Chains A and B, each alone.
Chain A
């Protein structure tokens, strides 16, 4: 059976040949690229008949060609585009339209403590750890988002933190998308932590103006024994953008990976979050927050794989939908036969601010071990009238009362961040986004 290629699929297929000429050379990566090309040519973009994509028909979402941005742009970054973490003492690595911009970055200090490799350059001489780990966290399933990223990858960074090293300050990757053309920006971050290494990784995705583009971003984190990483991602793409993201983590024995993903921007967002607990005593925490309005659509497909005994995992998603927005959360916890004494907890909460907003939650447990404790829950509701009345009876106007309650709701997810300084910055950003939304209506 042959299906009609969509315009977007055709544009991607046509760009395959050109990409081979332009992109960073990497002989060792060629088999993976070829496999990705083959699989995309065969299956194309996912659509609603794919169970994992039933809420987000990417074939329909990408209603025109979004050719990959193969060569770097020298676009200015407008002054108004500001990371929520500007006030923080941190290393900054800046990408504009999918390409690293050294003159806008400042991470020399990081290179002293860790090994950094720019993925924009030829990778034939890439170090062994990079070749070994690159794209290797989850290879079991093919999906189009990963395939396109592998074929068209133009920019990114790979960071290896040696055993025992604690990176002195947070590292922020800023991805600014100027949206001047309908194109796809493909970026990658690979983070490899040696035993006992520690880092805080901030990932900020910012759109400029109202351009329509596709951002395809992939972050992979490997934690050695006893390593610790905190990962905070803030996504505020333009209101007409499409944000497709893979966030993969593989957690070694006694290691801790703690993360927050705030989805506030983009017309359509697809977060594919996967985590595997690979060594005993590991912990993963995945918190998420949605702040959606208008006709925004955000779909998170999350999978936590307990592969070994005595690990803990916790997911908390707090999702706010206004107007006609739609939030989706699909969360699967797998507990393998060996993974006795697993402790897993998943909670998803939706807050609907209008009668036309929607929230779907699909928790799934696949438990193959018998001595485990796994709980999950999903709730969905509106603003509490008693709380609203109480606040208003104290003189707080309705709109401000609403903002306070929304901030408190989202705040529960933000509170999962360990660093108080970063927590406060994220909360301030949430308040700012909410005020902006208030001004507009």
Chain B
């Protein structure tokens, strides 16, 4: 469903992604690991359509379409979801209003009818309960005054409500204690299915004990330098990224 070929991207003349190849098929969970600054978040932002990056080479096709040609909102309506490493605070926009606007905007872009308010409320309540997101959080402004863990749970709630086909999770585990990690992992696992692809970006192996990936890739200095099965994550946990950081230099 996602095919990234030889992707190069730069910011202010600084090359950051330097030839990424990655294919994600429906039902697969891919983990991308790598040292800080290797370009993991950049890759996720490029996929979601942030326009700070200049794509200098390569292509990304998603469900047979050119993803790079689409606006961020079109990508979302086509089923792409990015859980941000640092979720953005939006004072003055209630979480519930935000969710409803997002759901209905996507439906509109896809030519579907808007969801009636009672159906929407029911959907959100159900998912919020599973993710231990309180009614109070839903009433508050988007991410404002949320703890680190609450922000990450709110991201997964958005993901569950928006029901995407490709989920990209950028360091969703960072800053979570073990209980919060379990809640988030359960939420993600509940969304695993034969039609859905996932890209889990993480610095640590820990999350992968709970969300077991089919493939693991190591990103270093803007390139995937090694790929393997889930055992690669364990190996990295043992040896660290030093070898890959040396590679990059």
Contact of B49 among A386, A393, A396, A405 (CB under 8 A): A393
Report the Cα distance A411→B90, complex, angstroms. 12
Tier of interface size on chain B: 20 to 34
| B84 close to A390 (CB less than 8 A) | yes
Report the Cα distance A409→B76, complex, angstroms. 25
Given contacts A392-B71, A396-B101, A398-B73, contact A408 B50 (CB under 8 A): no
Q: From B110, which residue of chain A is reached at the shortest CB distance?
A: A395
| A386 close to B158 (CB less than 8 A) | no
Q: From B106, which residue of chain A is reached at the shortest CB distance?
A: A395
Q: How many A-B residue pairs have CB under 8 A?
A: 75
Selecting from B10-18, B91-99, B205-213, B231-239, the interface stretch reads: B91-99
Chain B hits for A405, CB < 8 A? 90, 93
A394 proximal to B (CB < 8 A) = yes
Report the Cα distance A254→B162, complex, angstroms. 51
A397 proximal to B (CB < 8 A) = yes
Chain B hits for A125, CB < 8 A? none
Contact of B105 among A386, A395, A409 (CB under 8 A): A395
Chain A hits for B73, CB < 8 A? 392-398
Chain A hits for B93, CB < 8 A? 404-405, 407-408
B121 proximal to A (CB < 8 A) = no
| A389 close to B105 (CB less than 8 A) | no
| A387 close to B90 (CB less than 8 A) | yes
Chain A residues 339-397 with CB under 8 Å of chain B are 386-387, 389-397
Chain B residues 66-93 with CB under 8 Å of chain A are 71-73, 75-77, 82, 84, 87-88, 90-93
Interface mask (A401-439 → B, CB under 8 Å = 1, otherwise 0): 000110111011000000000000000000000000000
Contact of A400 among B75, B90, B101, B162 (CB under 8 A): B101
Chain B hits for A396, CB < 8 A? 73, 101-102, 105
Q: From B47, which residue of chain A is reached at the shortest CB distance?
A: A393
Minimum CB–CB distance for B154 against chain A, Å? 12
Contact of B88 among A390, A397, A411 (CB under 8 A): A390
Chain B hits for A391, CB < 8 A? 90, 98, 102
Chain B residues 173-190 with CB under 8 Å of chain A are none
Given contacts A389-B72, A392-B49, A397-B73, contact A408 B98 (CB under 8 A): no
Chain B hits for A412, CB < 8 A? 91-92
Report the Cα distance A405→B103, complex, angstroms. 17
Minimum CB–CB distance for B176 against chain A, Å? 20
Report the Cα distance A389→B75, complex, angstroms. 12
Minimum CB–CB distance for A412 against chain B, Å? 6
Chain A hits for B162, CB < 8 A? 394-395
Report the Cα distance A230→B224, complex, angstroms. 63
Q: From B82, which residue of chain A is reached at the shortest CB distance?
A: A393
| B90 close to A408 (CB less than 8 A) | yes
| B50 close to A395 (CB less than 8 A) | no
Minimum CB–CB distance for B38 against chain A, Å? 22
Chain B residues 20-60 with CB under 8 Å of chain A are 48-50
Chain A hits for B141, CB < 8 A? 408
Minimum CB–CB distance for B9 against chain A, Å? 16
| B102 close to A394 (CB less than 8 A) | yes
B115 proximal to A (CB < 8 A) = no
| B88 close to A395 (CB less than 8 A) | no
| A386 close to B88 (CB less than 8 A) | yes
| B102 close to A408 (CB less than 8 A) | no
B109 proximal to A (CB < 8 A) = yes
Q: From B103, which residue of chain A is reached at the shortest CB distance?
A: A395
| A395 close to B102 (CB less than 8 A) | yes
Minimum CB–CB distance for A170 against chain B, Å? 25
| A411 close to B82 (CB less than 8 A) | no
| B50 close to A389 (CB less than 8 A) | yes
| B76 close to A393 (CB less than 8 A) | yes
Q: From A410, which residue of chain B is reached at the shortest CB distance?
A: B92
| A393 close to B72 (CB less than 8 A) | yes
Report the Cα distance A408→B49, complex, angstroms. 24
Q: From B83, which residue of chain A is reached at the shortest CB distance?
A: A393
Q: From A409, which residue of chain B is reached at the shortest CB distance?
A: B92
Chain A hits for B88, CB < 8 A? 386-387, 389-390
| B92 close to A392 (CB less than 8 A) | no
Report the Cα distance A392→B103, complex, angstroms. 12
Contact of B76 among A394, A400, A408 (CB under 8 A): A394
Chain B residues 128-163 with CB under 8 Å of chain A are 141, 158, 162
| B101 close to A404 (CB less than 8 A) | yes
Given contacts A390-B87, A405-B90, contact A395 B49 (CB under 8 A): no
| A397 close to B109 (CB less than 8 A) | yes
Q: Can you report 26 A-B residue pairs in the complex whose CB atoms are below 8 A from each other?
A: A387-B90, A389-B48, A390-B87, A390-B88, A390-B90, A392-B49, A392-B72, A392-B73, A393-B73, A394-B73, A394-B76, A394-B102, A395-B73, A395-B76, A395-B102, A395-B103, A395-B105, A396-B73, A396-B101, A400-B101, A400-B105, A405-B90, A407-B92, A407-B93, A408-B93, A409-B92
Q: List the 6 shortest-distance A-B pairs measured between CB atoms, nearest first.
A: A408-B92, A395-B76, A395-B106, A394-B102, A390-B88, A392-B72
Given known contacts A393-B49, A397-B73, A400-B101, what 4 new A-B pairs fall within 8 Å (CB)?
A394-B98, A394-B158, A405-B90, A405-B93
Interface, chain B (partner A; CB < 8 A): 48-50, 71-73, 75-77, 82, 84, 87-88, 90-93, 97-98, 101-103, 105-106, 109, 141, 158, 162
Interface, chain A (partner B; CB < 8 A): 386-387, 389-398, 400, 404-405, 407-409, 411-412
